[in-house]
Amino acid sequence: MYNGGKILIGIIVFLLFAAFPFYNNIGKVSAKPEPKLNTPVIQQLAEKKCVEPKDFMKAEHMQMLNDWRDSAIREGKRTYINSEGKPFYISLQNTCMNCHSNKKEFCDKCHTYAAVKPYCWTCHIEPKEKRS
């Protein structure tokens, strides 16, 4: 082999990059996030249902919030009719956060896990919660 030293350095650098996720996680334990739904308001609901079905909300809530913002702020329409024909008042803080008042235990759980930084809170005021 020619230039063995330089080749070896190159291979080591390659391994450092290629195996990064593996050695980066040695000794770390990560658990799947479990967003909590046990706020007082949700517990008092007769029918524990969100605006739309759970699977839809899980995948499309960000799109829905975006549409709600456009509808409320840009068009002034404050009523949303869901897939069952039920009307809802369009408001992040008065509708969504009324039930899901536990941002840290609900929103942030998955967002932190998946490294998502929603920009809701650049305009809205973050709810003041006690750190649990």
Partner 1 sequence: MKILVPFFAVIALVLLAVIGTAANLHFLFGAVIPYAALFIFIFGVIYRVLKWAKSPVPFCIPTTCGQQKSLPWIKQNKLENPSGTLHVIGRMALEVLTFRSLFRNIKGELRDGSKFVYGSDKWLWLGGIAFHYAFLIVLLRHIRLFAEPTPAYLYILEAFDGFLQIGIPRLFATGVVLLAAAAFLFLRRIYVPQVRYISLAADYFPLFLIMGIAATGIIMRYFFKTDIVGVKELAMGLVGFNPVIPKSVGSIFYVHLLLVSALFAYFPFSKLMHMGGVFLSPTRNMVANSREFRHVNPWNYPVKVHTYEEYEEDFREKMKMAEIPVEKE
Report in angstroms how near the CB of residue 31 gets to partner 1 at its nearest: 9
Would you list the DSSP string of 65-106? HHHHHIIIIIS---EEE-TTS-EEE--IIIIIHHH---TTTT
- Of residues 46 and 114, the one with the C-beta less far from partner 1: 114
Cα distances (angstroms) measured from residue 15 to each of 18, 28, 43: 5, 21, 52
Say which residues have a Cβ less than 8 Å from residue 40's Cβ, sequence separation at least 6.
Answer: 101
The strand pair at 87-89 and 79-81 is best described as: antiparallel
Report in angstroms how near the CB of residue 98 gets to partner 1 at its nearest: 21
Q: Check residue 16 for interaction with partner 1 (CB under 8 A).
A: no
Q: Check residue 62 for interaction with partner 1 (CB under 8 A).
A: yes
- CA 118 – CA 108 distance, rounded (Å): 10
- Of residues 28 and 130, the one with the C-beta less far from partner 1: 28
Q: Check residue 114 for interaction with partner 1 (CB under 8 A).
A: yes
Q: Check residue 131 for interaction with partner 1 (CB under 8 A).
A: no
Site residues for partner 1 per CB under 8 A: 1-4, 7, 10-11, 14-15, 18-22, 24-25, 28, 30, 32-33, 58-60, 62-63, 65-66, 110, 112-117, 119
